[in-house]
Structure 1
Amino acid sequence: MVFKLTVGLLALALSVSAASIKRVACPDGKHTATNAACCVFFSLADELQTNKFDSQCAEDAHEALRLTFHDAIGFSKTGGPSQGGGADGSVILFETIELMDPANNGIDDAIDNLKPLLETFDVTAGDLVQFAGAVAVSNCPGAPRLQFLAGRPNATVPAALGLVPKPEDNVNKIFARMGDAGFSPTDLVHLLVSHTVARSDTLIDNRQAVPFDTTPFTFDTQVFLEVLLKGNETLPPASGEADAQVPNPLAVQGAMRLQSDFAIAHDSQTACAWQEMINNQQLMMNNFQQAMAKLAVTGHDASKLIDCSEAVPIPQPAVKKAATFPAGTGPKLVQQSCPQPFPVLKTDPGAPTTIPECIDGDTNLNDCPS
């Protein structure tokens, strides 16, 4: 009797506590928020989805997600504040300087797409970059809902050139650079989950929107499988990027593979972290969510920021398709470096997988079929 009474009182207390949390009516008349400071982000999300991303996991969304990394990684523990403030929007506020870094080649499209929003929404550049990335990835089926904390001050200095790793860099150089920014090799693998929806406009001459796996519009684990497939074909290198591509059995079908992804997938420090996500959607989602939460506050004290995660749209549900070897490949092509058992996967039937190219890099998914 005493136990039942105690449980009942506890339930009542929790109910009263939840009911006492009052939401703030936002000025747009459409939303409410737990904190008035979050209202602007509900309106910003509406604008991004309607006029920037078309609520699609397409090129503009991919580029916005990429920008979150290129902005935040401009931070050095050893170099200090003069090297950059991390996730502070410097990539927008000092774009002329930061675009001089060859590793930032191609991010100008995302900057051009997002920068005008600073004139119509009362947000800082750092908040805009990280929030836009969180909204963007919510359009990709299978993505986790990312945390978003608001209140980053605007950058006062540009990030130093050379802080963004390049795909042709030696793997130890990449690990050292990420370590200087506060990220372990495993953290890096978890950040590279973004490559499941990544594409390149710059690494191959005369080709835009070249995907890194055969399902570039779906947030799934295929990229972790396909990077491990052995092949003899290579894509023609872009000017000055002769080492950026490595043999890839899917090359002739339209995909490419970064040298850095290949090296990280086989390094002894990261091979198992890479392999364990193959066909484990929930693990991949959790890893990415946690890594992005860390990336998004690089250079900031998270305790001084305001949690506005509620403004991030609920992501599209996963397609619930197991990872498979693309048609024309199979388990014999696997190059395994992790000593753990490799997952047993089926092979797609039919002719070798072909990945259609977007028309002139168009963001309309009707021109970029998955």
Structure 2
Amino acid sequence: MPLGSLVVISALVCATSAALTRRAVPCPDGVHSATHPACCALYPIVDHIQQNLFDGGECDDEVHESLRLTFHDAIGFSLSQGPSGGGGADGSIMSFSDTELQFSANGGLDDIVKMQEQCLSECGGNGVVSPGDFIQLAGAVGVSNCPGAPRLKFLLGRPNATAPAPDKLVPAPTDSTDVIFARFADAGFNTDEVVALLASHSIASSKVLNPSMVGAPFDTTPELFDTQFFVEELLRPRGFHGTELQSGQTDSPIEGEMRIMSDSLIARDSRTSCTWQSFINNQARMADAFGQAMAKLAVLGQDTSKMIDCSEVIPQPKSLPVEHSQSVFPPGFSNADVEQACSATPFPKLSTLPGPVTPVPPVPS
């Protein structure tokens, strides 16, 4: 190889290495460090969020709702509609809450928006972070409280929203997969990324879908970011014969558990069923895919060249407890209860938890 080519390759390697290696410097508080001075101001905000929004670092209802808020704010973005199609992850759902919280798809978000507005005011975040920054920061910090979750990225520097997002950009639980996939494609996401984002339902619970099931979790381990959601969604209903209980809700065979129509359809759609099944018993794959999809979601509509990577301020999540490191069937279920949807690969062989079949308790609000 010519010497000139070696020099070019060497220079490229050095440049790439320099780009990937970010040197941290001490912050004025003498405790933390950051790769950019602007990130230092975020540490006390993160501490305030943990103590006052998430009860000292719990994977609780406020975490679930904060993660939901990151999506509902960011998905207000349309490639086909251009500038009139919303500003994406710009905080418009908070800045123009009087408008956007009236959208039917945003039902149940009123409380978490108010809590975050108060937290932003009390933590000294005004002037440091925009509402769009705060929503994504709170979501990433909240997820870090859930064992098994990836450490989400956080970029600082979203400008204030100048207008509310248009209505009808948030997919509804009653939508068909064609409608859902088209909506996500219009925001720049492929079908694999849609499934990856649905890993958020592993720590989700219902707010408004069924008034008789407020707090009903979407799987049996809502306090853990694990793959149980992907297992349990594929269990066929027992005794209910698939009867629709309410618009957007279908029957789960596990008493007390919420199952929504769109999840059920995506889990069984030929375009997504194998990606769905690939997450079962593969925690690392699911967490990595979710982290990458969330990094993309968190900057929809933003100019990242003008933003600062402050990911180091996000706490490192705990690992899953050993007893939850593998996917399992809940008590009373087995492979015979699975509605096999992916024809390309066999369904994983999972063990069944011992014990009686008991209802899943609601997530405390």
Q: Normalising by structure 2, what TM-score?
A: 0.89
Q: Which residue of 1 aligns with 2:328?
A: 324
Kindly state the Cα deviation for residue 43 of structure 1 after the two structures are TM-superposed: 1.2
Q: What are the superposed Cα offsets for residues 301-358 of structure 1, whole Å, 9 maximum, x if unpaired? A: 2232110000001112112321111002211110011011110100111111431224
Question: For the Cα contact (< 8 Å) 1:328–1:353, is it kept in 2?
Answer: no
Q: Could you tell me which amino acid in structure 2 is paired with residue 335 of structure 1?
A: E
Kindly state the Cα deviation for residue 19 of structure 1 after the two structures are TM-superposed: 11
| SS of equivalent residue, structure 1 residue 210 | coil
The answer on 1:167 being equivalent to 2:173 is yes
Question: For the Cα contact (< 8 Å) 1:87–1:297, is it kept in 2?
Answer: yes
Q: What are the superposed Cα offsets for residues 276-312 of structure 1, whole Å, 9 maximum, x if unpaired? A: 0001000011001100000001011223211000000
Kindly state the Cα deviation for residue 90 of structure 1 after the two structures are TM-superposed: 0.4
Kindly state the Cα deviation for residue 20 of structure 1 after the two structures are TM-superposed: 10
Q: Which residue of 1 aligns with 2:362?
A: 357
Choose from 244, 249, 263 the match for 2:248. Answer: 244
Q: Which residue of 2 aligns with 1:366?
A: none
Q: Which residue of 1 aligns with 2:139?
A: 133
Kindly state the Cα deviation for residue 22 of structure 1 after the two structures are TM-superposed: 5.5
Q: What are the superposed Cα offsets for residues 226-256 of structure 1, whole Å, 9 maximum, x if unpaired? A: 0000013559977xxx331113211x2x101
CA separation in 1, counterparts of 2:91 and 2:109?
Answer: 13
Q: Which residue of 1 aligns with 2:108?
A: 106
Choose from 262, 266, 269 the match for 2:268. Answer: 266
Q: Could you tell me which amino acid in structure 2 is paired with residue 95 of structure 1?
A: S
Kindly state the Cα deviation for residue 86 of structure 1 after the two structures are TM-superposed: 0.2
Q: Could you tell me which amino acid in structure 2 is paired with residue 80 of structure 1?
A: G
- Cα distance 1:151–1:230, how it changes in 2: closer, same or farther (>3 A)? same
Q: How many residues align?
A: 340
What does 1:177-188 align with in structure 2 at a 5 Å threshold?
A: 177-188=183-194
- Cα distance 1:19–1:289, how it changes in 2: closer, same or farther (>3 A)? closer
Q: What are the superposed Cα offsets for residues 123-180 of structure 1, whole Å, 9 maximum, x if unpaired? A: 1011101110000000001001001111111110100011000111111101111111
Q: Which residue of 1 aligns with 2:44?
A: 43
The answer on 1:336 being equivalent to 2:340 is yes
CA separation in 2, counterparts of 1:185 and 1:20?
Answer: 33
What does 1:15-54 align with in structure 2 at a 5 Å threshold?
A: 21=23, 23-26=25-28, 28-54=29-55
Q: What are the superposed Cα offsets for residues 10-51 of structure 1, whole Å, 9 maximum, x if unpaired? A: xxx9xxx8999461423x454232211111221111001111
Choose from 42, 55, 66 the match for 1:64. Answer: 66
| SS of equivalent residue, structure 1 residue 211 | coil
CA separation in 2, counterparts of 1:19 and 1:271?
Answer: 38
Question: For the Cα contact (< 8 Å) 1:205–1:237, is it kept in 2?
Answer: no
Q: What stretches of structure 2 of length at least 5 have no aligned partner? A: 1-13
Runs of 4+ deviating beyond 4 Å: 17-20, 233-238
Q: Which residue of 2 aligns with 1:198?
A: 204
CA separation in 2, counterparts of 1:90 and 1:292?
Answer: 18
Q: Which residue of 2 aligns with 1:153?
A: 159
Q: Which residue of 2 aligns with 1:82?
A: 84
- Cα distance 1:236–1:99, how it changes in 2: closer, same or farther (>3 A)? farther
- Cα distance 1:22–1:128, how it changes in 2: closer, same or farther (>3 A)? closer
Q: Which residue of 1 aligns with 2:7?
A: none
Q: Could you tell me which amino acid in structure 1 is paired with residue 250 of structure 2?
A: V
Question: For the Cα contact (< 8 Å) 1:83–1:158, is it kept in 2?
Answer: no
Question: For the Cα contact (< 8 Å) 1:88–1:155, is it kept in 2?
Answer: yes
Q: Which residue of 2 aligns with 1:4?
A: none
Kindly state the Cα deviation for residue 272 of structure 1 after the two structures are TM-superposed: 0.5
| SS of equivalent residue, structure 2 residue 213 | coil
Question: For the Cα contact (< 8 Å) 1:326–1:353, is it kept in 2?
Answer: no
Question: For the Cα contact (< 8 Å) 2:133–2:157, is it kept in 1?
Answer: yes
| SS of equivalent residue, structure 2 residue 357 | coil
Kindly state the Cα deviation for residue 75 of structure 1 after the two structures are TM-superposed: 0.2
Q: Could you tell me which amino acid in structure 1 is paired with residue 338 of structure 2?
A: V
CA separation in 1, counterparts of 2:251 and 2:21?
Answer: 59
Q: Could you tell me which amino acid in structure 1 is paired with residue 53 of structure 2?
A: K
CA separation in 1, counterparts of 2:202 and 2:113?
Answer: 22
What does 1:197-236 align with in structure 2 at a 5 Å threshold?
A: 197-234=203-240
Question: For the Cα contact (< 8 Å) 1:196–1:220, is it kept in 2?
Answer: yes
Question: For the Cα contact (< 8 Å) 2:52–2:119, is it kept in 1?
Answer: no
- Cα distance 1:21–1:218, how it changes in 2: closer, same or farther (>3 A)? closer
The answer on 1:302 being equivalent to 2:307 is no
